[in-house]
Amino acid sequence: MRNYDCIFLDRDGTLNYDTGYIADLSKFNFYPFTIPALIHMSKKGNKFCIITNQSGVDRGLIQIGKLDEIHEYIRHEFEKNEIVLLDIYVCPDHPNKASNRRKPGTGMFLEAAEQYNLSLNNCLMVGDSVDDMLVGMKLGMETMLVLTGRGKKSLSKLGANHKPTYVKKNISEGFEQLCL
């Protein structure tokens, strides 16, 4: 299989159930297949970075401290399972006054590339939204649309000019395919 510099992961709808503006750790649940799939890819020598839009912060629906708690939990779960997580990048911007950090803006990816010396054209972006796919394409990454979360809707919105490299039922099936 191809070895990526880094596999970028969207969070909600990709790794965990997207119940909308998750404001408390008690509402955060990985899909049952997420951790095993990440372990599998990790054993093949891959490392990960989570890139997430969290406009709930700017909307006043999510407190930063609560968001940090969720991300501490994620870091801990990765570490416990020996999955290499470079970092978690968060954009709290409201879409109406978003900086270039908010996906499909490239800001968070450029930060990661600089901080961890990554060649983005040798990376993979995995996500369930149109914006995840668009930013991946913009940066010359391979893209994987997963059909969990908003994935099915996203697939119907993506035109013929924006075909993801892979379209897979979920992250587990996607990673299995990459390991063939």
| Of positions 6, 8, 13, 88, contacts Mg ion by CB under 5 A | 13
**Which residues, other chains included, contact 104 with Cβ-Cβ below 8 Å and sequence gap of 6+?**
130, 131, 132, 134, 135, 138
List the one residue from 12, 93, 131, 142 that touches Mg ion (CB under 5 A).
Answer: 12
What is the number of the residue whose Cβ is closest to Mg ion?
13
Is position 93 an interface residue for Mg ion (rule: CB under 5 A)?
no
The question of whether 87 is a catalytic residue gets the answer no
- Annotated active-site residue 10? The verdict is yes
Q: Closer to Mg ion by CB, 70 or 80: give it.
A: 70
Read off φ and ψ for residue 96, nearest 5 degrees.
Answer: -75, -20
According to DSSP, the residues that pair with 145 across neighbouring strands are 127, 167
CB of 3 to Mg ion, least distance (A): 25
Instruction: Name the active-site residue from 5, 10, 93, 132.
Output: 10
Q: Is 131 in the site for Mg ion (CB under 5 A)?
A: no
Q: Which is nearer to Mg ion, 42 or 103 (CB)?
A: 103
From the list 28, 77, 36, the residue with the least C-alpha distance to 170 is: 36
Cβ proximity to Mg ion, 32 vs 180, nearer residue: 32
The answer to the question of residue 10 lying near Mg ion (CB under 5 A) is yes
Binder to Mg ion among 5, 93, 128, 131 (CB under 5 A)?
Answer: 128
Under the criterion CB under 5 A, does residue 104 sit at the interface with Mg ion?
no
Q: How many residues line the site for Mg ion (CB under 5 A)?
A: 5
User: What amino acid occupies position 84?
Assistant: V
**CB under 8 A, 24+ apart: contacts of 39-42:** 39/81, 39/82, 39/83, 40/175, 40/176, 40/179, 41/7, 41/175, 41/178, 41/179, 42/81, 42/82, 42/83, 42/84
* The one segment of 21-29, 60-68, 88-96, 129-137 that binds Mg ion by CB under 5 A: 129-137
Q: Where are the alpha helices (DSSP H) in the chain?
A: 34-43, 64-80, 107-116, 130-138, 151-157, 171-178
Give contact residues for Mg ion (rule: CB under 5 A).
10, 12-13, 128-129
Q: Which residues are catalytic?
A: 10, 12
